[in-house]
Structure 1
Amino acid sequence: MLRDDATIDAGALYDVANELGMSDQQVRLCIKRLVADGQFVQDGRGRKAVLRATDELRSTIAPDRDYLRLMYAQDRGDAPWDGRWHVVAFAVPESVRSARDAMRDAIVRLGGAAVQGGLYVSPNDWDSEIASAAVQLAITEHVTTLTTTDLSVGDIDEPRAVANRLWPLDEIAERHRRLLAFADRALLALPSASPTPRLTIAIELAAEFSRAVELDPLLPPELLPQPWIGATARAKVAACWTELSKSDAPQRIKLFQWYAEVVDELVRPTF
């Protein structure tokens, strides 16, 4: 709900929270916690207050535009796979166990799948991100990377079968089916929605989108079942983002402007 000027109208926040089943007391406690954590400064009281995002918060909330660009480029068939698997292996001593755990988390966040203990793979070029994580965690000497076009997992070597073995594609697809169903309803409701229902739909759409993509390693189409439900769902979501970025209000919701800008670069869906 952050607007162009990095503020949130508390009255609108209470109204949307009520639509989502939260009480005013819950909202007050959440605001108090956000202020205590240094994420917002509150001007005024109750529903007449204005929450102003701090610089610390504003530096962390922009979406990963490179991730979005790759996502939609793949969905359009504009990012074909080169047939190379990118592999990383690490064996970090127990004395720096926290760094080992952080490295594993970084690899999984980048879409890597475990082949076996300490050995992960991705079809996407993640070499610079892996190197950056290793440097940041001071474990470069314990990390090995390589690329190959010849990968077998057990007795499976056909690339699409390998992908199906390593990543939970059924669960990823199911999450996108749920996203598509919500986006279908949202796209019908948004054009005529008044401000509070519109914001409520926006927040629910953001939650469904996050739920759908948090497991998604963005495998190239060559490794996915076709047609892929993820591409269909995200195209419909792109239409919702475009609709949400339209507003006659003096201050628009910043998040969906960011998304719409990326979508405008790559996707112009028509429904």
Structure 2
Amino acid sequence: MNATSPTPEDASWPPIPTRLLVHALVRGDGTVDAGELYSVAGLLGMTDQQVRLCVKRLVKEGRFTHEGRGRKAVLRATPDATGALDPDVGFVRHAYRQDRGLAPWDGVWRLFAFAVPESLRTARDALRDTLLHLGSAPLQGGLYVCANAITPLVEIRARELGVLSTLTHLTSTDLRVGELTDPTALAAALWPLDEISARHVRLADLARACLARLDAPEALTGPERLTMAVRLAAAFTEAMEPDPLLPPELLPRPWAGAEARRLAAACWSALAEADAPGGPPSSGPRLFALYDGVMDGPDDA
């Protein structure tokens, strides 16, 4: 890594919200060590006042309880507190299966149409958001297309929202939009692949910087390792959330997402190995177990 290459500590990386940091440092036993929290926050450029105010809000919202004072305090996550950086396990595993050639495209487009009345606007918006989250792209008003087999998930959500009767779905192997019929051309026209690729390139840059730092002779301290893990998890989430996980057959080659995920997995494995080797599961943040388990899962998961 040359002198101009970014480093994991580079201030140019997107800032990490304080709330997200607190969730990221929840350990296996549901606690957050305040001393660790303040140390990592400082490395991320946060002030002690920012941390105190965030903790106060989280306690007021009932997401955590607070015991002790200052850096010797302990936060305990309440049962309904969720980890803001927790990966969508099924989504991430599917991505790695695609990267390994274990989830080839069947050549089928899934189309969804709905006409939810204005009186059910909230449900209509929720159904649309579900389709987008699952990797669909809008074709025209109320009509969406997806390359992956998401129909059961869409039906479940539509039923939950009480609008299943308004949902129409069908499949096609000869989708045509204007004069476009080639699947790769359709994918390029329907999804913002340049923007999605740019996010993955940024993740890959961070992962390379992390790997270079982990290979350096100077060992990382515990807070430095945690800071790197939080940055990596945040960048992974930023890259993956808008990714529709199109089948590799529809993507440019080489695809930046596959390389970014490979580097992220290598970086995560190195971080997990360095995190208190041999210690009990509760001794380290859930973040290590969550990401290491998802990225290095069995090929047939």
Q: TM-score normalised by the shorter chain: which range applies?
A: over 0.9
How do 1:25-40 and structure 2 match up within 5 A?
25-40=49-64
Which of 103, 124, 129 pairs up with 1:100?
124
Are 2:233 and 1:233 equivalent residues in the alignment? Answer: no
Give unpaired runs (5+ residues) of structure 2.
1-24
1:20 is matched with which residue?
44
1:112 is matched with which residue?
136
2:290 is matched with which residue?
258
Which of 106, 109, 115 pairs up with 1:82?
106
Q: Is the 8 A contact 1:72 1:266 kept in 2?
A: no
How do 1:1-271 and structure 2 match up within 5 A?
1-58=25-82, 62-190=86-214, 192-246=219-273, 247-248=275-276, 251-266=283-298
Q: State the Cα deviation string for residues 173-230 of structure 1 (Å, max 9, x = none).
A: 1111111010001112236211111111111111111111121000010000011111
Q: What is the alpha-carbon distance in structure 2 between the residues aligned to residue 43 and residue 244 of structure 1?
A: 29
The Cα of 1:244 is off from its aligned counterpart by: 2.2
The Cα of 1:258 is off from its aligned counterpart by: 1.6
The residue type paired with residue 54 of structure 1 is: T
The Cα of 1:243 is off from its aligned counterpart by: 1.8
Identical columns (%): 52
The Cα of 1:266 is off from its aligned counterpart by: 4.0
Q: What is the alpha-carbon distance in structure 1 between the residues aligned to residue 118 and residue 60 of structure 2?
A: 36
Bigger shift: 76-85 or 241-250?
A: 241-250
Q: Is the 8 A contact 2:85 2:234 kept in 1?
A: no
Secondary structure of the residue that 2:113 maps to in structure 1? Answer: strand
Secondary structure of the residue that 2:297 maps to in structure 1? Answer: helix
Q: What is the alpha-carbon distance in structure 2 between the residues aligned to residue 61 and residue 205 of structure 1?
A: 10
Give unpaired runs (5+ residues) of structure 1.
none
Q: Is the 8 A contact 1:245 1:252 kept in 2?
A: no
Aligned length: 267
Q: What is the alpha-carbon distance in structure 2 between the residues aligned to residue 58 and residue 118 of structure 1?
A: 32
The residue type paired with residue 203 of structure 1 is: V
Residues 30 and 252 (structure 1), Cα distance of their counterparts in 2 relative to 1, 3 Å cut: same
The Cα of 1:59 is off from its aligned counterpart by: 8.2
The Cα of 1:58 is off from its aligned counterpart by: 4.5
Q: State the Cα deviation string for residues 66-123 of structure 1 (Å, max 9, x = none).
A: 1111000001111000000111101000111111111111111111100011000110
Q: Is the 8 A contact 2:65 2:75 kept in 1?
A: yes
Q: When the two structures are superposed, what TM-score results if normalisation uses the length of structure 2? A: 0.85
Q: What is the alpha-carbon distance in structure 2 between the residues aligned to residue 59 and residue 258 of structure 1?
A: 10
Q: What is the alpha-carbon distance in structure 1 between the residues aligned to residue 121 and residue 63 of structure 2?
A: 31
Q: What is the alpha-carbon distance in structure 2 between the residues aligned to residue 121 and residue 155 of structure 1?
A: 17
Bigger shift: 20-29 or 49-58?
A: 49-58
The Cα of 1:256 is off from its aligned counterpart by: 2.2
RMSD: 1.5
